[in-house]
Amino acid sequence: MYQFNYHKPASLDEAVALFREADDPMYLSGGMTLLATMKQRLAAPTDLIDLAGIAEMTGVQVNADAVRVGAFTTHNVVAGSAEIQQALPVLSQLAGLIGDNQVRNRGTIGGSVANSDPSADYPAAVVGLGGTVHTQQRSISGDEFFQDLFETALQPGEIITHIDFPIPKRAAYRKFPNPASRYAVVGVLIADFGGSVRVGVTGAGPCAFRASGIEEVLNEHLDPSAINGVEVPDAGFNNDLHASAEYRAHLVKVMARRALSDLLKT
């Protein structure tokens, strides 16, 4: 066991102040990545700042054109929320596909988005639905939030407070899960905003991105066969023992076709 200081601030201001004063601090949300990393001694922060006590980071609000989810909301709450199931069913469905039940009970949307794991599910929703990430000091567009492998637009000390998702006419998410971890080898979310289509992809590259080639053809013909002719370049795609870059590029089209078939049935 190694020593670290544990803090549980009651407000954002207090959390940020603790972060600024500490030597090598980390914020703790659900801890589904960070705690596992610490147990393996692969991270050893001097100060762990638990965000569980901050009231303004919790809660779900639904209005006519958007769903607002507090950053500390767990995946199971999003999956089981009657309000979200009614207004934005694709988000509940996506949350229900994350990891296993234990992870869904502890893991949070803010933690997942801030971590920007290349295979996490939520980034596909932030990008595919054109969400907005709010922090204690500013708002960041979903298109600009994810920058690279584990790299986001967040500055050191910045905390995600909540995320807004615009409500599309209809949307669907399909992923090819790793059978052990349930991480997305590739996941594709397609949203139809009545006239414009957005396609968010996770798992394929270093971070979530929009598949602009697929968006272009779907804006012309909202039909799964339209995706067949699109070139998805695999340059820079993830390449590991689970799947090659080339295979992932192929999966992007397969998952996009399946998501679109689901979308057209709704």
Partner 1 sequence: MEQSGEYRIAARREDVWSALNAPDVLGACIEGCQRVEKLDDEHFEVAVKAKVGPVSATFNAALELSDIEAPVSYTINGNAKGGAAGFAKGSANVHLDEDDGVTVLRYGVKANVGGKLAQVGSRLVDGAARKMADDFFAEFSKRLDPDSVAVATAATDTDAAEEREFEKSGGWLMWVVAFVGLAIAVILAF
For the CB of residue 154, give the shortest distance to partner 1 in the complex, in Å. Answer: 12
Alpha helices in 75-171 (DSSP H): 75-80, 82-87, 89-96, 101-106, 109-115, 122-128, 142-145
For the CB of residue 150, give the shortest distance to partner 1 in the complex, in Å. Answer: 3
Interaction with partner 1 in 226-255: which residues (CB under 8 A)?
Answer: 238-242
Residue 34 or 226: the one with the smaller Cβ distance to partner 1 is 34
Alpha helices in 89-230 (DSSP H): 89-96, 101-106, 109-115, 122-128, 142-145, 212-220
- Distances in Å between the Cα of 85 and the Cα atoms of 35, 122, 255 are 30, 16, 22
Per-state percent for the chain, helix, strand, coil, to nearest 5: 40, 25, 35
For the CB of residue 74, give the shortest distance to partner 1 in the complex, in Å. Answer: 19
Interaction with partner 1 in 45-64: which residues (CB under 8 A)?
Answer: none
Whose CA is closest to 230, among 249, 204, 246?
Answer: 249
Q: Under the criterion CB under 8 A, does residue 119 sit at the interface with partner 1? A: yes
- Give how far the C-alpha of residue 238 lies from the chain's centroid of Cα atoms, to the nearest Å: 17
For the CB of residue 33, give the shortest distance to partner 1 in the complex, in Å. Answer: 5
Residue 168 or 187: the one with the smaller Cβ distance to partner 1 is 187
Q: Under the criterion CB under 8 A, does residue 36 sit at the interface with partner 1? A: yes
Q: Under the criterion CB under 8 A, does residue 155 sit at the interface with partner 1? A: no
Residue 28 or 167: the one with the smaller Cβ distance to partner 1 is 28
Q: Under the criterion CB under 8 A, does residue 43 sit at the interface with partner 1? A: yes
Q: Under the criterion CB under 8 A, does residue 42 sit at the interface with partner 1? A: yes
Residue 35 or 222: the one with the smaller Cβ distance to partner 1 is 35
For the CB of residue 208, give the shortest distance to partner 1 in the complex, in Å. Answer: 14
The residue to which tokens 């009614």 are assigned: 86
Q: Is 142 helix (H, G, I), strand (E, B) or coil?
A: helix
Q: Under the criterion CB under 8 A, does residue 82 sit at the interface with partner 1? A: no
Task: Retrieve residue 129's tokens.
Answer: 């639905």
Q: Under the criterion CB under 8 A, does residue 193 sit at the interface with partner 1? A: no
The residue from 47, 117, 158, 192 that contacts partner 1 (CB under 8 A) is 117
The residue from 166, 206, 213, 224 that contacts partner 1 (CB under 8 A) is 206
- Give how far the C-alpha of residue 126 lies from the chain's centroid of Cα atoms, to the nearest Å: 6
How far is the C-alpha of 121 from the C-alpha of 110, rounded, in Å? Answer: 12
| Residue count, binding to partner 1 (CB under 8 A) | 26
The residue from 118, 123, 130, 142 that contacts partner 1 (CB under 8 A) is 118
Q: Under the criterion CB under 8 A, does residue 3 sit at the interface with partner 1? A: no
Evaluated on CA atoms 67, 71, 73, 75, the torsion sign reads positive
User: Count of CB atoms within 10 A of residue 206's CB?
Assistant: 16
Residue 40 or 155: the one with the smaller Cβ distance to partner 1 is 40
How far is the C-alpha of 223 from the C-alpha of 64, rounded, in Å? Answer: 28
Q: Which chain residues interact with partner 1 by CB under 8 A?
A: 26, 33-34, 36-37, 40-44, 115-119, 148-150, 181, 183, 206, 238-242
